[in-house]
Structure 1
Amino acid sequence: MKLITLSILMILSSCKDDAIQPGPSVEEAYVNGKIYTVNDNQLWAEAMLVKKGVIVAIGTNEEIQQEATSSATTIDLENRMVMPGIHDVHTHPLEAGTRNVHFTLEAVETNPENYASEIRNAVRQNSNSEWVVGAGFETYIFYSEGVRSPLAILNDISTTKAIAILALSGHTVWANSKALALAGIDADSPDPAGGVIMKDENGQPNGLLMDNAGDLLLELAFATFENREDNDYFGLLEYGLPELASNGITSTCDARTFWKRNQHLTWKRVEENNQLTARVNLGLWVYPEEEDASQISTLQSLFSNDPNSLLKINQIKLYSDGITTNTTAAMHDNYLVDIFNHPTNNGLNYISQDRIAQYISALEPIGFDFHMHTIGDRGVTEALNAIEQVGTGSGRHRLTHVEYVSPTDYDRFSQLNVTADAQVAGDYTNPDSWHASDALVNPSLNDNFIPIKSIKNAKARITLSSDWDVSTLNPFVGMQNAVTRTPQELALSDAIKAYTINGAYVMRQEDQVGSLEVGKEADFIVLDQNIIDIQPNRISKTRVLETYLRGKLIYQQ
C-alpha cells in the first residue's frame, strides 16, 4: 500500500501551524479499495477523491481517475476495506488517561486481602501526597463470608495517609479512616443525594462508599492535587487521544466532564494548542448535591457549539440511577436482597424525574442534548417520563446503558426521538453472563439483558459505545458481541450504523461525517480485513491500519 507516513506522535506534538487540516496534498485519490460507505444509496465503492479534507467524488476507479487532476496524490488501498471513522458516543478518555490516579490494581482478586501489598507499595511510593488514589477492584469481593471490614484492611496499611480506591465500575470507592475523617464522614453522616455510606452492624462506616458518596470523596481528594489540570492534560494528550485514534475513533463524547475540576478547560487547552485528534462533544456533569438554579446557570454559561470547532460543549451528562451490582440501579420491583436497610429497596436516584425535567426545561432550549445514565427499568421509565413531560422535540437526547427496559417503554424511544445507547463490548454483556445477577433481581428480567433488538424492532435509533475504560475501547469487539448476542442481537449493518451515522446524529454532525459521501469531510479508517465477508466470531480480531480525520492521517499501525 502506498502510504503517507505521519506518526500519531507528530500530530500530538504539533504546533499551531500543524492543526488538523486537510492532508499533505491538496487532492488525494484513494483507489483499489473496498469502501463501505454506510450510504444506502451507494453502499460500496472502489475509490474516492478527497480535496482539502472533503470527499468530492466516490465511485469506481475509472470514475475517480477521470475526476482527479494531474497533481492529485494517488493512494493504493490494495483491496483493503475502508469505512467511516468510528463514533463512540460514550467514553472517558480524560479519566482513563489522567495522572491523578496514583496506581491501578493489576491483579484480579476475589479476596481483598490480596491487594494489601500493592496498596502498601503505592502508599510508600507517594509518601509526599496527602491522598493516595487508586482504582481497579470489584465491589462484590467484599460480599463473601469471612471477609474483614474494608475499613480494617486499609487501616492496617495506613491510618495517617488518606487512601481512596475507585472500583472498576466507577460506582464504589474503598476508603480508610483517614480519608473518611477528611471528608467528615462518621456514624451520624446522612447519605448524600445519589449515594450510600455503607455501615457495619454497629452503625459505623465500613469503608465502602456507594455511587455519589464515593464521588464526593474523590472530589475532595482531587482538589488537593497541585498539578491536577496538568495531570489531566498530559494524560489525555499522551494516552487518551492516541488510544482513540488507534481504535479508529474519529468522533467521541466525553461522557462525564467534571467542570468543577476544570476538565472542560483541559479539553479547550488541547484544542487551542491544535492537538485535538478527534471530534469531541463534552457532557457536562450534573452534580446531584448542587442547588439546581445555581448549577443550571453555570451550565448555561459553559455552552459552546462553534460549527467550525472540533470541540463542542453541547451535552449534559446526568445519572438517573446507579448500578445493579450495588443494588442502586433504579428498578420497578424490589431487589431480592437488602444491603442498605432503607425504607425502599428498589435502587436510588442521583437525579429524580422531576429534577431531570427541570434541567431539560432550562437547558434544551439553548441547545443542550441530554446523555442520561439509566441502568434499571425504573430509571429508564423516569428519564423517558421527564423527556415526555417537558421536551420540545428539538433535543437529541439519549439514554445510555439501558440494561433493563420495561417492554412498555420500547416504543417510547422512537415516539420521543430518544436514542438508546448500549454498551455490549464487556464480557458481562454476553449471553452466558446475563443471569449473573439472578440473586439480585427477578431472573426473568435477565432473559433480555440490554434488549437492543427489541428496541430496534420498535423503530428506535441505536448507538453502540464502549464506556471506556470500564470496557474495551475496541469497536470491533462491540460489533462482534452485538451480532452474536441472540436473542438480543443486531444485524451487522445495523451495528455498523450504530457506530457511525447514528452516532453522528447524536453529535449533531450527520451532515458532515458518519458516512462516506460527496460533500462530507473525509473521516475514515482502513482495516486489515473485510468485516462484511468474514464469520461473525472473527470481527473482534479486526485491526485498524490507518485513521484519517478531515483527510489527514492521524494514526498508522
Structure 2
Amino acid sequence: MMWVLLVMLTTSAPLAASAQALDILISGGSVYKHPAGTVVGIKQGKIAYLGSMDNAQSLIGEDTQHIRAHGRALYPGFIELHGHLLDNVVFSRFACLLEPEKGELGREVCREVVDKLEEGQWLIGHGAGLLFKDLSPYSPRQWLDRYFPDVPVVIAEPHSSLVWANTKAFELMMINNYSIDPVGGKVLRDHNNEPTGVMLGAMAELTMEQAWRSHRVRLCGLSEEYVMSVVPLESNGVTTLGDAGNFWLYGGINFWKHLDDEGVLKIRVSVRPRLSPYKAINEQLEGLRLIFRNELTSRLIINQVSVQVDGNYGLKTARVSGRYQPPYLNGEASGLFYFSPTELNAWLLRLSEIGYGAFFHAEGDEAIKAVLYSLENVRNMNNDSRYTLSNMKFIHPDSERMLARLDVATTFYEAEHHEIPVIRDNLIEQGLRPVSLRRLHAAGVSVSLSSESYGNEQVMPLRRISEAMLDNQLGIASVNKAIDSYTIEPAKALGIDAITGSIVLGKSADLILLEQDLSKLAVEDIASVKVLMTMLQGEITYRDENRG
C-alpha cells in the first residue's frame, strides 16, 4: 500500500461548510516540536489548525484531503541558504567539464564542444581544484594553448572567483605583461611578469562576462533545464533556496520572473544579486532598485545582495591579519580584499537606503572584521535588514561577540570547517580560534547549515545535519538545534521567519514528511533517512511513490 492516501474523509460528525473546511489534514505521525497526537490542518496554503484529531472534526469537509502519515515524522521544509541553482543550470547547458589529470579522456568532452562552436564563440569549461592541478612543465595558459589553440578558452572553478584562460582569451581581454589589474581583481604572473593563465576576483568575472556574451545566452530559454535541476532539491526536502545571483546583470532576474509567471517555480527562491567590485556603484544601485521584491508570500523574493569580500584559505587568498608562509601571491602575503573596507562601508550605507540586506563571503579574520565594523555603522542608523556571514573558519573573540550584538547570522557548508593547516598555527598564535558552532549557539548567534555544492544533486540537508552533530568538539550539540539550523535559522537569515521555517499557525504550509523521527536515531543514521513528501504552500512538490 502507498504510504500516503489522499481520500475523502468520512466521519459521523457533521461536515464543515466548504468555506470553513480544511483543504488538507495530515494525521498519524509525529509533528516536530508539538505533542504526540497533533494533527496539522492546511487551508489556502497556510497552516490553519494544530491540535487533536477530535477537535479537528468540525473542520473536515467533503473535499478535505487526508494524508495519513503512518507513524512517519513531519518537519518544517528545509531552507538551503547557499545555493547555485541558476549557475548549475547555465553551466550544465553551456560549459564542459575539464579534468586535466585524466589525460585525453579528461579533455574529450571539451574537444567535442570546440568542434560545435560558432565563429567568435568562446570555449567555456569548468573544473574543481584548478589552482592545484599539476600541469608540469606548463602553466595553465600554456597548457590550454597546447590543447585548445584555436579558440578563446576560459575554465572556471565554480563559486571560487578563479578561472584559467588561454592566450587567445588574454588577447581579447587586452591583458599582457604591462596591463593593470582592475579593482577587486588579480592576474597571476610569473617572474617575467607573463600572465600564467590564472585570474582571480573581478578579473575572473570580467573574463567570464566576455565569454557568456559570445554565446548570446538567453536564460529565459532554460526552463526545461530548471525543471530537471530542481528535482534533487525537492526530493531532499528543500522548500526554500537562497540562490547566488551571479547572472543578475545578464538576464538572471528575468529567468526567475519567467518561471514565477509561468507557475513552474516549485521552490521559494530568494535571489541575491552579486555585487561587482569594478562596476560603478550608482549603476548597480539603480538596477537593484528596479528588481527589488519584498512580497514575502511570493515564491520569488529579491531583498538581499551577495558580496564576495575576500578569497579563501585553500587558495591563500582569504584576507588575514597574519601572513601566509610562503605567500602564493606576490605582494599579497596577507591575501586579498575584493572589496576594501572603505568600499564595503560605502556599499552597505547605500544599500540600507533602498532596503537591501546582504550575504557576505568573508573567510579571513580581517575580512570578517571589515564586514562587522561596516555593519556596526549601518546598525547605528537603526537599520534592521538581515545580514549573514558565510563559512568563517577562524575568528577573534571580539568578532564573535560582535556577531551577537549586531544580530548577524552565520552559515557553514563544510563538514570540517576548522581544518585549514596552511595558516592554522599562525592564526592561533595571534589570538584567533577555530569557529565553534556550539560556542556561537551559546553566545546567541544564529547558526545555519547549508550545502553550497556545485550540482544540485549534492544538496543533502540530512547529511549536513548528521555531519554537524558528529563533530563533537566544534559542531552542533543537539538534534533539535541541528534541525533548526536548516529550518528556522536560515529563515531568519533570509528575513522570512514570519512566514516559514517552523510549524506554527498562520505560517506557510512548507512541510516535509520523513520516514523516521530524527530524535530517535543515532546521529550517523540521520544522513540516510528518506524524504517521503515535500510540500510548499500546501502544494505537494515531491513524493516518493516507492515507499510503503
Give TM-score scaled by structure 2 length: 0.89
Any idea what SS the aligned residue of 2:214 has?
A: coil
Q: Cα–Cα, structure 1 residues 261 and 219, in superposed 2: closer, same or farther, change >3 Å?
A: same
Q: Which amino acid aligns with 2:78?
A: I
Q: Cα–Cα, structure 1 residues 116 and 336, in superposed 2: closer, same or farther, change >3 Å?
A: same
Is 1:457 the counterpart of 2:457? The answer is no
Q: 1:102 pairs with 77, 95, 99, which one? A: 95
2:431 and 2:169 map into 1 onto residues whose CA distance is 37
**What residue in structure 1 maps to residue 226 of structure 2?**
236
CA contact (8 A) 2:296 2:496 kept: no
- Output aligned runs, 1:88-487, within 5 Å: 88-98=80-90, 99-105=92-98, 115-126=106-117, 130-142=121-133, 146-230=136-220, 232-239=222-229, 241-342=230-331, 344-391=332-379, 392-424=382-414, 429=417, 434-438=419-423, 442=427, 449-469=434-454, 472-487=458-473
Q: Which amino acid aligns with 2:124?
A: V
Is 1:519 the counterpart of 2:511? The answer is no
Q: Cα–Cα, structure 1 residues 58 and 153, in superposed 2: closer, same or farther, change >3 Å?
A: same
**What residue in structure 2 maps to residue 489 of structure 1?**
475
**What residue in structure 2 maps to residue 8 of structure 1?**
none
Shift in Å, 1:141 = 2.7
Q: Which amino acid aligns with 1:64?
A: A
Shift in Å, 1:217 = 0.6
Q: Deviations over 1:408-455 (max 9, x none)?
A: 211111100111121135xx54x7xx1443589657799954432222
Q: Deviations over 1:373-408 (max 9, x none)?
A: 111111111100100023334111111111222222
Q: Cα–Cα, structure 1 residues 268 and 44, in superposed 2: closer, same or farther, change >3 Å?
A: farther
Any idea what SS the aligned residue of 1:349 has?
A: coil
Shift in Å, 1:43 = 6.1
1:97 and 1:454 map into 2 onto residues whose CA distance is 37
Q: Deviations over 1:279-304 (max 9, x none)?
A: 11111111110122332233223212
CA contact (8 A) 2:248 2:273 kept: yes
**What residue in structure 2 maps to residue 505 of structure 1?**
492
2:291 and 2:49 map into 1 onto residues whose CA distance is 38
1:383 and 1:307 map into 2 onto residues whose CA distance is 27
CA contact (8 A) 1:36 1:44 kept: no
Q: Which amino acid aligns with 1:50?
A: I
2:195 and 2:168 map into 1 onto residues whose CA distance is 12
Is 1:2 the counterpart of 2:15? The answer is no
**Unpaired stretches in structure 1, ≥5 consecutive residues:** 6-24
Any idea what SS the aligned residue of 2:314 has?
A: helix
Shift in Å, 1:65 = 4.0
Q: Deviations over 1:452-494 (max 9, x none)?
A: 2222221111111222327931111110111112311112211
CA contact (8 A) 2:88 2:455 kept: no
Name which of structure 1's ranges 42-51 and 401-410 shifts more when overlaid on structure 2: 42-51
1:136 and 1:303 map into 2 onto residues whose CA distance is 33
Name which of structure 1's ranges 65-74 and 250-259 shifts more when overlaid on structure 2: 65-74
Any idea what SS the aligned residue of 1:420 has?
A: strand
Shift in Å, 1:139 = 2.6
Any idea what SS the aligned residue of 1:493 has?
A: helix
Shift in Å, 1:29 = 1.3
Any idea what SS the aligned residue of 1:223 has?
A: helix
Q: Cα–Cα, structure 1 residues 70 and 301, in superposed 2: closer, same or farther, change >3 Å?
A: closer
1:170 and 1:32 map into 2 onto residues whose CA distance is 46
Q: Cα–Cα, structure 1 residues 230 and 71, in superposed 2: closer, same or farther, change >3 Å?
A: closer
Is 1:33 the counterpart of 2:29? The answer is yes
2:360 and 2:192 map into 1 onto residues whose CA distance is 36
Shift in Å, 1:538 = 1.3
Q: Deviations over 1:294-328 (max 9, x none)?
A: 32233223212124421111111111111112221
CA contact (8 A) 1:26 1:51 kept: yes
* Identity fraction in percent: 24
Shift in Å, 1:140 = 4.0
1:181 and 1:199 map into 2 onto residues whose CA distance is 15
1:74 and 1:114 map into 2 onto residues whose CA distance is 53
2:149 and 2:63 map into 1 onto residues whose CA distance is 70
CA contact (8 A) 1:49 1:68 kept: no
CA contact (8 A) 2:515 2:532 kept: yes
Shift in Å, 1:172 = 1.5
CA contact (8 A) 1:435 1:443 kept: no
Any idea what SS the aligned residue of 1:170 has?
A: coil
Shift in Å, 1:349 = 1.2
CA contact (8 A) 2:185 2:203 kept: yes
Q: Which amino acid aligns with 1:353?
A: P
Shift in Å, 1:101 = 3.0
CA contact (8 A) 2:135 2:143 kept: no
CA contact (8 A) 1:232 1:263 kept: no
Q: Cα–Cα, structure 1 residues 168 and 439, in superposed 2: closer, same or farther, change >3 Å?
A: farther
Any idea what SS the aligned residue of 2:168 has?
A: helix
Shift in Å, 1:104 = 2.1
CA contact (8 A) 1:405 1:451 kept: no
Q: Which amino acid aligns with 1:56?
A: A
Tell me the matched-pair count.
524
Is 1:76 the counterpart of 2:68? The answer is yes
In angstroms, what is the RMSD of aligned CA positions?
2.6
Q: 1:85 pairs with 60, 72, 77, which one? A: 77
1:495 and 1:424 map into 2 onto residues whose CA distance is 14
Shift in Å, 1:129 = 6.6
Q: Deviations over 1:2-55 (max 9, x none)?
A: 3459xxxxxxxxxxxxxxxxxxx9621111011114xxxx36654211122221
Name which of structure 1's ranges 221-230 and 278-287 shifts more when overlaid on structure 2: 221-230
